[in-house]
């Protein structure tokens, strides 16, 4: 299979690089701020298998994921993405696989598909935890930067395996190491509850651990996957439903509307982080290894999940947008644009921002979203049935870092089609908060279902039938605080 895709890629490159066909100027990309869809968790054939009959084990190309990087980028472009991160991971001495084989292929992919901004990164085999994205800033030494992290801190790097590399203090050491970089990377926790055996019973990732990451490197460890990948795990290759398949490959405790319990429970872990005023954002991605039509558990990048970043279309602006929380996520192309604006007098703030309030004044909340007119990639025309406005109080850092609840969070208002007005293809909602007595954050979510709260996803659920979108928050700070 890997040889087939390698030959296909060579043909694609030959055609794409033919005279006159390469885009005349990548620098002509749009300079205005816009919502740009992307995916920060994508595997190529350099997420290898391993031949353990050799000592040390030898990498087997395509042993874990099968596609060349440029094929991933071409599919990302086809499914409407404007940016992506290649995130290979592996095993003993995989840092050399990334440096000498995956990185050169990324450079080639950037030439083949210039329309997609492509970051170099990895799925970090995280010490003392599950996995995480490491997204490297686009610099002349990006390959050496990633190699320095993976070779020194990936828990699967040494051979023979060394359990001393797999501890929470080593992850904090890794974050401190990254914090010394002039151009800082971004770390996003992957599928944080996939190993959890039950609701609020955690596995490899715990609330205290993620707080420790954010405390150690608040500009680097900035969030988690709200909606994990592997969402096609309940689909057979012919598209029929597999009654034993779990969305997200969450075989222990299920996702909720396709989202991790860390995100989906109102007043849960995410809200406890936001209540402290932390920069802790959510994303969504494919975790693409092998497409479900070829026996895998995955959609192509952008086929089902999208992370939208408000940015100019270049590496620096996109990375700043992720770091600053100018992000919303959606599944099944339920929406393609989302604007949440908090307004007080002449001042305003949008997703990821902060509004400083004069004492005593009301705050107007405007929600504007675009319900795409065309079909999604399942041929469906999903419509947003409801939008929820969620509000929580902010009280500063908690004394107990293991806290995973926040009782001062609530769904303040629920809106249906009777509550919004149409402006062309856009829907608009306006809601007024009275004078604030405490610092608050607001966030928005929406769904095509009638569920008031996202329910546990049963095995064999069709992921296209249960769609949600989530915004990251806006903070409202009163003059008294």
Segment 339-372, tens digit of pLDDT: 999 999 999 999 999 999 976 679 999 999 999 9
What is the C-alpha separation between 64 and 21, in angstroms, rounded?
33
The 10 Å Cβ neighbour count of residue 348 is 15
**Alpha helix ranges (H) inside 127-253:** 142-153, 168-179, 207-216
60 in Cβ contact with 306 (< 8 Å) = no
Residue 180, token pair as written in the block: 């010394």
- pLDDT at residue 6, rounded to an integer: 53
Residue 42, token pair as written in the block: 């994508």
Answer yes or no: is pLDDT of 22 > 50: no
Write phi, then psi, for 108 (nearest 5 degrees): -65, -40
Answer yes or no: is pLDDT of 212 > 80: yes
- pLDDT at residue 3, rounded to an integer: 53
Sequential DSSP letters for 110-132: HHH-TTSEEEEEEEEE-TTSSEE
Residue 53: HSE in the Cβ half-sphere, 13 Å Cα cutoff:
1
- pLDDT at residue 4, rounded to an integer: 47
Q: Tell me, what DSSP letter sits at residue 419?
A: G
The 10 Å Cβ neighbour count of residue 352 is 23
Stretch 210-236: mean pLDDT, rounded? 98
352 in Cβ contact with 329 (< 8 Å) = no
270 in Cβ contact with 404 (< 8 Å) = no
- pLDDT at residue 26, rounded to an integer: 43
What is the C-alpha separation between 99 and 131, in angstroms, rounded?
20
Segment 269-286, tens digit of pLDDT: 999 999 999 999 999 999
Q: What angle do helix axes 69-78 and 103-112 make, rounded to 10 degrees?
A: 40
What is the C-alpha separation between 97 and 46, in angstroms, rounded?
7
Segment 183-199, tens digit of pLDDT: 999 999 999 999 999 99
Q: Which helix (H) or strand (E) holds 72?
A: helix 69-78
- pLDDT at residue 21, rounded to an integer: 40
Stretch 159-163: mean pLDDT, rounded? 96
What is the C-alpha separation between 45 and 356, in angstroms, rounded?
48
Residue 91, token pair as written in the block: 């095993």
Segment 47-96, tens digit of pLDDT: 999 999 999 999 999 999 999 999 999 999 999 999 999 999 989 999 99
Dump strand ranges (E) for 141-289: 186-189, 221-227, 281-284
Find all residues with CB under 8 Å of 388, minimum gap 6, and list them: 411, 413, 414, 415, 444, 445, 446
- pLDDT at residue 30, rounded to an integer: 61
- pLDDT at residue 358, rounded to an integer: 76
- pLDDT at residue 5, rounded to an integer: 53
- pLDDT at residue 117, rounded to an integer: 98
Find all residues with CB under 8 Å of 424, minimum gap 6, and list them: none
Pick among 3.20.20.140, 3.30.499.10, 3.10.450.50, 1.10.1270.20: CATH of 31-478: 3.20.20.140
**Alpha helix ranges (H) inside 333-425:** none
Find all residues with CB under 8 Å of 418, minimum gap 6, and list them: none
Residue 409, token pair as written in the block: 């969070």
Percent of the chain scoring above 90 in pLDDT:
89
The three-class DSSP label of residue 4 is: helix
What is the C-alpha separation between 299 and 229, in angstroms, rounded?
8
Stretch 279-303: mean pLDDT, rounded? 98
Residue 417, token pair as written in the block: 């089609």
416 in Cβ contact with 429 (< 8 Å) = no
- pLDDT at residue 480, rounded to an integer: 61
Segment 393-412, tens digit of pLDDT: 999 999 999 999 999 999 99
Q: Tell me, what DSSP letter sits at residue 99?
A: I
Q: Which residues pair with 329 in a beta bridge?
A: 307, 470
- The mean of the pLDDT values for the chain is 94
Segment 244-274, tens digit of pLDDT: 999 999 999 999 999 999 999 999 999 999 9
For residue 288, the Cα-to-chain-centroid distance in whole angstroms is 13
What is the pLDDT confidence band of residue 9, given thresholds at 50, 70 and 90? low
Q: Which helix (H) or strand (E) holds 179?
A: helix 168-179
Q: How many residues does the chain have?
A: 481
The pTM (predicted TM-score) of the whole model is 0.94
Answer yes or no: is pLDDT of 24 > 60: no
What is the C-alpha separation between 159 and 8, in angstroms, rounded?
35
């Amino acid at each position: 299979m890997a040889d087939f895709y390698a030959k296909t890629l060579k043909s694609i490159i030959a055609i794409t690089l033919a005279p006159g066909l390469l885009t005349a100027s990548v620098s002509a990309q749009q300079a205005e701020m816009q919502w740009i869809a992307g995916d920060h968790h994508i595997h190529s054939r350099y997420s290898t298998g391993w031949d353990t009959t050799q000592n040390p084990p030898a990498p087997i190309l395509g042993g874990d994921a099968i596609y060349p990087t440029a094929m991933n980028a071409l599919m990302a472009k086809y499914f409407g993405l404007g940016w992506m991160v290649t995130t290979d991971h592996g095993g003993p001495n995989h840092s050399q696989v990334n440096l000498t084989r995956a990185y050169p292929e990324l450079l080639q992919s950037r030439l083949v598909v210039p329309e997609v901004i492509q970051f170099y990164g990895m799925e970090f085999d995280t010490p003392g935890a599950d996995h995480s994205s490491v997204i490297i800033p686009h610099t002349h030494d990006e390959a050496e930067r990633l190699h320095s992290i993976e070779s020194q801190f990936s828990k699967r790097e040494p051979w023979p395996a060394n359990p001393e590399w797999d501890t929470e203090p080593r992850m904090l050491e890794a974050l401190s190491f990254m914090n010394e970089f002039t151009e800082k990377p971004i770390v996003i926790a992957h599928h944080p509850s996939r190993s959890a055996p039950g609701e609020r019973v955690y596995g490899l990732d715990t609330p205290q651990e993620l707080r420790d990451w954010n405390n150690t490197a608040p500009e680097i460890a900035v969030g988690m996957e709200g909606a994990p990948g592997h969402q096609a795990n309940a689909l057979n290759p012919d598209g029929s439903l597999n009654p034993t398949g779990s969305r997200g490959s969450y075989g222990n405790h299920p996702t909720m509307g396709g989202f991790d319990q860390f995100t989906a429970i109102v007043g849960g872990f995410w809200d406890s982080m936001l209540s402290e005023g932390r920069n802790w954002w959510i994303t969504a991605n494919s975790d693409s290894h092998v497409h479900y039509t070829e026996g895998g558990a995955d959609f192509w990048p952008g086929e089902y999940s999208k992370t939208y970043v408000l940015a100019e279309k270049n590496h620096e602006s996109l990375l700043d947008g992720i770091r600053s929380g100018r992000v919303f996520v959606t599944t099944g192309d339920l929406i393609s644009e989302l604007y949440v604006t908090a307004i007080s007098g002449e001042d305003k703030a949008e997703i990821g921002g902060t509004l400083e309030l004069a004492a005593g004044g009301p705050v107007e909340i405007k929600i504007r979203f675009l319900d795409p007119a065309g079909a999604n990639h399942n041929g469906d025309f999903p419509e947003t049935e409801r939008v929820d406005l969620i509000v929580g109080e902010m009280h500063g850092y908690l004394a107990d870092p293991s806290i995973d609840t926040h009782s001062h969070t609530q769904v303040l208002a629920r809106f249906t089609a009777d509550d919004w007005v149409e402006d062309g293809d856009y829907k608009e909602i306006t809601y007024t908060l009275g004078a604030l007595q405490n610092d608050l954050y607001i966030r928005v979510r929406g769904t095509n279902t009638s569920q008031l709260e996202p329910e546990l996803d049963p095995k064999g659920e069709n992921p296209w039938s249960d769609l949600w979108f989530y915004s990251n928050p806006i903070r409202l700070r009163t003059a008294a605080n």
